[in-house]
């Protein structure tokens, strides 16, 4: 009889914290990641921890045996700098979802969660900083982010057809910029909240009152704190919602306003140097939360200020430890 809940990408930011949350609620968890176990962000000894490359069909078959529910979070991804420079690597993540769905069907998995992304939304709807919030129906006609966005959009369709053809209860979340402590903060895969926090922390530590900002700083985004992400993810898996659903904050800010918040938390003001030729993604993006409120009776609500206070202080501590030659949590994929 199936007994485990499987979390893929368990050595990463969202997956590792999801494993801890599930264990705290008495769920039996099988945690899987391709990174060596020593490199996982969270190592929960109460889980069954497995190192496996889920791009391989035999690995997916093996880890899905005896599993009732799957949270498929595994993917090769990062911030905009990584996504724009590694389109082929991002596309190869399609193998993970394909093989995981095949294995889920073979072994009688009941519910299958797939972490998609706001990068599936068309570029033609995100050309203005004062963007209209993106609702789920906006994904088509399709014009997804090249590479990563198209891989996620294909993954969504694959989930839909495995649900329709084979009866697996697939649930799809379109995440909008998840951030928080214990996330990737250096090395090229970090997203804007972590990158800004690192840059401010390093300016404080070096007493060099300057910061480099990618683009002109007027591009807009919304950012969702990790705690909201974990709640929304578990609510969605156990819901009856079959179509993709936004899980993201609708608190839209410019990148300059994000910098303002982190500077205020750090108690510093920095000279801003704008790198206009850096990767910066779409001009504006925000989450329309009307559907999640109507269907789940809930939406992400942790303010950016509250989340960034926690995020900045954690990243500052890691950067300071690194500068002083003490142990710190390194960046992870």
| Nearest of 300, 276, 270 to residue 288 by alpha carbon | 300
How many other CB atoms are found less than 10 A from the CB of residue 122? 18
Query: How far is it, in rounded angstroms, from Cα 249 to Cα 178?
Result: 9
Runs of H (alpha helix) within 207-286: 226-237, 255-266
DSSP state for residue 284 in the 8-state scheme = B
CB 4 within 8 A of CB 30: yes
Report the distance separating Cα 115 and Cα 133, nearest Å. Answer: 20
Sheet containing strand 111-117, edge to edge, reads 48-51, 29-33, 4-8, 67-72, 111-117, 169-175, 245-247
Find residue 4's DSSP bridge partners.
Answer: 67
Residues in the chain: 333
| Helix 255-266 × helix 304-323 angle, to 10° | 60
Positive/negative CA dihedral, 23, 27, 30, 31: negative
Catalytic residues: 148
Sorted by sequence, the CB contacts under 8 Å of residue 143 that are 6+ apart come out as 122, 123, 124
**Token couple for 34:** 């391709």
- C-alpha 47/C-alpha 164 separation (Å) is 32
């Amino acid at each position: 009889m199936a007994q485990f809940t499987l979390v893929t990408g368990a050595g990463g930011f969202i997956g590792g914290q999801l494993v801890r949350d599930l264990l705290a609620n008495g769920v039996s968890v099988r945690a899987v990641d391709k990174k060596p176990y020593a490199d996982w962000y969270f190592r929960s000894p109460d889980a069954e921890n497995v190192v496996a490359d889920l791009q391989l069909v035999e690995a997916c078959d093996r880890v899905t045996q005896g599993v009732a529910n799957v949270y498929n979070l595994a993917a090769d991804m990062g911030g905009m700098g990584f996504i724009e420079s590694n389109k082929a690597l991002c596309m190869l993540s399609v193998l993970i979802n394909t093989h995981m769905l095949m294995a889920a069907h073979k072994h009688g998995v009941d519910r299958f969660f797939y972490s998609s992304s706001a990068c599936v939304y068309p570029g033609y709807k995100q050309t203005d900083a004062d963007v209209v919030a993106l609702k789920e129906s906006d994904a088509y006609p399709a014009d997804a982010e090249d590479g990563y966005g198209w891989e996620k959009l294909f993954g969504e369709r694959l989930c839909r057809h495995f649900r329709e053809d084979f009866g697996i209860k697939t649930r799809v979340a379109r995440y909008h910029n998840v951030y928080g402590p214990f996330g990737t903060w250096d090395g090229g895969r970090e997203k804007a909240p972590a990158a800004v926090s690192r840059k401010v922390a390093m300016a404080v530590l070096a007493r060099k009152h300057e910061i480099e900002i990618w683009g002109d700083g007027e591009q807009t985004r919304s950012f969702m704190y990790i705690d909201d992400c974990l709640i929304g993810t578990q609510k969605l898996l156990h819901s009856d919602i079959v179509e993709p659903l936004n899980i993201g904050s609708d608190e839209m800010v410019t990148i300059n306003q994000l910098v303002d918040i982190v500077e205020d938390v750090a108690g510093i003001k920095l000279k801003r140097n704008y790198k206009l030729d850096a990767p910066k993604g779409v001009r504006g993006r925000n989450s329309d939360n009307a559907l999640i409120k109507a269907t789940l009776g809930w939406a992400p609500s942790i303010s950016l200020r509250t989340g960034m206070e926690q995020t900045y202080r954690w990243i500052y501590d890691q950067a300071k430890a690194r500068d002083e030659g003490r142990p710190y949590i390194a960046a992870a994929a």
